[in-house]
Amino acid sequence: MTDVLIDHFTYEYPGSTVKVLNDVDVTFKHNHFSLLTGPSGSGKSTLLYFIAGLYPHFIGNDALGGIKFGDTDIKQIPSNEISHSVAMMFQNPNQQFAMDTVIHELTFVLENMLVEPAKMDGIINHALAFCGIKQLRSRVINTLSGGEKQRVALACIVAMDPPVIVLDEPFASIDPDSRLDLIKKLKQLQVEHGKTIILADHDLNDYKGVIDEFYYLDPDTHHISLLDSQSAQHFFDNFKNTQTINKQVAIPTEAAPSIINIKDFKLQPHHSLLLKLGDFKFCKEKTTLITGANGIGKSTLFNALTKLLPYDGEIDFAGKNIQKIRPLPYAKNVTLLFQDAENQFLNITVKEELDLSLKNRTNQAYSIDDVQTMLKELSIDGRDDQVVYSLSEGQKKKLQIIEMLIMNPPVLLMDEPFKGLDYHSLEVVVGFLNRSKQEFHQTQIIISHQLSGLDTLIDYHANFADQNLTYQEVIK
Amino acid sequence: MNPGLKLLLVMAIALEISFTQSLIVNVILICVSFIYILFNRVTFKALIGLIFWPLFPALGLFVSQWLYGSAGIHFAWILFTRIYAYVFLGATFTLTSSITDLALTLEQDFRLPSKFAYGVLAAFNLMPKINEEVQIIKTSALMRGEALHFWSPKLYFKAILSSIQWSQNLAEAMTSHGFVEDQGRTHYRVIKITAMDWVWFIGLFGIVQVLLFFIRY
């Protein structure tokens, strides 16, 4: 029996006084598939890292309370045996392999676990076959897609064969087919191989009917509670609601003025076709929402629009081929709000960051008072000397949005700009964006999974599916 | 030949020709390395690159020594060929050995701590990602009105920040894949230094000594 017992567990990050986990007292049951949900940044990952034995080693300070696998306290397990008890799958598919090829990584794992070399081939073949990736055996990991990499990560776990498997938002950047397939594989590991599975995710798609237990980490109380089926159902319904808005939008007419035109366009990084467009336009001074499943290529499209990735065909900005516009002027005209806020920061403190935007902006649309008001409305004012990297994820996002609004580029691309924002902040940001569009004539293109609350902002909706981008009237 | 021994041999010879002055030995080293590389089927592009890129420093050294040096044109030729000897000797290693094999032999035969061997290997496999990251940093800076060049401290600050983050993630991933510092591991592929490896190593190194001793021009 390997129940995972979390016993009065309290943790705060070094240098912080906020308890991200406050007296958490739950039991993840043996041979169950447990889903742990809660808003991003609420501390789900932190708990999983402790369960996987990575913390406190990799973070510095310890937590109060304990974690037990059955009767064994995790602290009693020697460090070279912990991987016989628990294995972890990470969120970022790119940073979980030490070796170059799939087969080398699998042997690396087995060598670490002191498996006899003679037995390795059998174990590896079984693990690859189980995950349906025999054909990837000799491939170089860097050339695999996100979905393939996560399958390799699962194959490593299957080869390690620990009783407990923890997964930290493992599907955040992979395509829907891979996601569904991996969830099925995990279920199979639970049912046929008796594994205990603990998975953290804030995206609740595909879990209904698969999971046995539904846990919720409350971002206000920092408690985790096991929900009954009724409350769980409530969460599933709620999640569905955040993914829809009841708004009919128009389809841009032939005559609608455009600012970005895409012609005979093909996007195929790593030689797999993501998007093929004959003729497509983004309309001037409008907000276009792009929806579509994870990992399908939406962010990659933004990378092409910002010249971060090569593509076939032509992209025109204001009638001019973007390859013929010099990098600096182009970047000031077509600007990307990166999904990861840290990518946008160049300085150390909040004040330095804001000053940089004020110094380099191309127009004076926002006054200093405007900026102060915006900071106040998002309640991140008075933090002038704070190091930006020490802000919470939500605060980073807010600062990033304000500094890019100050730049006031004619076209602002936004990749999941509402991720990590609470609903009130989202409404405030939507207000800012509306002002930017109406008063300063900004064109906005938004990739977002969060849809509720955006009704007043969206003018057009383009759906990304089947290697195509098409305008649609309904948003779903 | 065992990649660890090969690396040792290449470095030893390179060090030696830095302190000796024999034009003919330099040329012999270049020719032998060139033939060795040809036999190992490298791409044409790599070969052209090997000849083309060192031309600038080699010519630079040659011209400055020839026109302004006091040791004459013979020494200028030695400097010229020395650059090419370094490059081709290095290429016999880099173009024909796998970094994975090197890590395995360093761990198993040279008793390098496994943490170091696999850490370097993991970092090496991250190289293409680092290039992408630098591109992202530059583009994002442009969007904020700053052009970062390769001499901009901010570029390095951001790149180092990312590297620290990545190395942390990588260390966590290796740990979760069962890797523990200074603990025993089994070896699926045992790489041994064979008697034949030693014969080649000592033989080749000996031949270079003999050549350097007798050919002083």
Number of C-beta neighbours around residue A222 at 10 A: 20
Chain A residues in contact with B127 (beta carbon < 8 A) = none
How close, in Å, is residue B116 to chain A by CA atoms?
Answer: 12
CB within 8 Å: B188 and A117: yes
HSE value, Cβ hemisphere, 13 Å, CA-based, for B176: 32
Nearest CB to B186; choose among A52, A115, A331: A115
- In whole angstroms, what is the distance from residue A199 CA to residue A213 CA? 11
The CATH number given to whatever domain includes residue A294 is 3.40.50.300
One-letter amino acid identity for A241?
N
How close, in Å, is residue B7 to chain A by CA atoms?
Answer: 20
pLDDT of residue A161: 96
Q: For A359-415, how does the pLDDT look when each residue is reduced to its tens digit (9 = 90+)?
A: 999 889 999 999 999 999 999 998 999 999 888 888 999 999 999 999 999 999 999
Structural domain including A462 reads: 247-475
The whole-model pTM stands at: 0.84
Strand partners, A226: A215
Q: Cα A6 to chain center, whole Å?
A: 26
Chain B, window 96-125: residues with a beta carbon less than 8 angstroms from a chain A beta carbon: 99-100, 118, 121-122, 125
CB within 8 Å: A328 and B142: yes
Q: For A257-267, how does the pLDDT look when each residue is reduced to its tens digit (9 = 90+)?
A: 999 999 999 99
> Which residue, of A212, A243, A274, is where some domain finishes?
A243
Chain B residues in contact with A400 (beta carbon < 8 A) = none
Q: Which of A128, A86, A122, A80 is nearest to A105 (CA)?
A: A128
Could you tell me if A196 and A117 lie in one domain?
yes
Which of B134, B144, B156 is the best mutation test for A, with the most CBs of A within 10 A? Answer: B144
One-letter amino acid identity for A172?
A
Q: Is B173 on the interface with A (CB under 8 A)?
A: yes
Percent of chain A with pLDDT over 70: 100
> Which residue, of A243, A275, A309, is where some domain finishes?
A243
Q: For B46-95, how does the pLDDT look when each residue is reduced to its tens digit (9 = 90+)?
A: 899 999 999 999 999 999 999 998 888 999 999 999 999 999 999 999 99
Query: How many structural domains is chain A composed of?
Result: 2
Q: Is B63 on the interface with A (CB under 8 A)?
A: no
> Which residue, of A193, A219, A243, is where some domain finishes?
A243
pLDDT of residue A315: 96
Q: How confident is the model at residue B202 (pLDDT cuts 50, 70, 90)?
A: very high
Residue A339, phi then psi, degrees to nearest 5: -65, -40
Judge whether residue A40 has pLDDT over 90: no
Determine how β-strand A86-89 pairs with β-strand A196-200.
Answer: unpaired
Return all residues near A323 (Cβ < 8 A) that are at least 6 apart: A307, A315
Q: Is B135 on the interface with A (CB under 8 A)?
A: yes
Could you tell me if A422 and A457 lie in one domain?
yes
How far CA A126 is from CA of A99, A117, A121, A133, A135, in Å, comes to 20, 15, 9, 10, 13
Could you tell me if A72 and A149 lie in one domain?
yes
Q: How confident is the model at residue A155 (pLDDT cuts 50, 70, 90)?
A: very high
Q: How confident is the model at residue A173 (pLDDT cuts 50, 70, 90)?
A: confident
Strand partners, B136: none
Could you tell me if A279 and A230 lie in one domain?
no
- In whole angstroms, what is the distance from residue A94 CA to residue A150 CA? 9
CB within 8 Å: B141 and A346: yes
Q: For B33-47, how does the pLDDT look when each residue is reduced to its tens digit (9 = 90+)?
A: 999 999 988 888 989
Judge whether residue B167 has pLDDT over 80: yes
Long-range contacts formed by A372-377: CB under 8 A, 24+ apart:
A374/A402, A374/A405, A374/A432, A375/A402, A377/A428
Percent of chain B with pLDDT over 70: 100
Q: Strands of A145-246 (E only): list them.
A: 164-168, 196-200, 213-217, 224-227
pLDDT of residue A79: 87
In contact, A98 and B177? CB cutoff 8 Å: yes
CB within 8 Å: A58 and B187: no
Domain boundaries, chain B: 3-101+192-214, 114-176
Could you tell me if A167 and A289 lie in one domain?
no
Judge whether residue A243 has pLDDT over 80: no
Residue with more model confidence, A146 or B24: B24
Q: How confident is the model at residue A101 (pLDDT cuts 50, 70, 90)?
A: very high
One-letter amino acid identity for B205?
F
pLDDT of residue A203: 85
DSSP sequence for A21-52: EEEEEEEE-TT-EEEEE--TTSSHHHHHHHHT
Helix (H) or strand (E) run with residue B143 in it: helix B114-143
Could you tell me if A234 and A307 lie in one domain?
no
Q: Which of A139, A108, A87, A92 is nearest to B121 (CA)?
A: A108
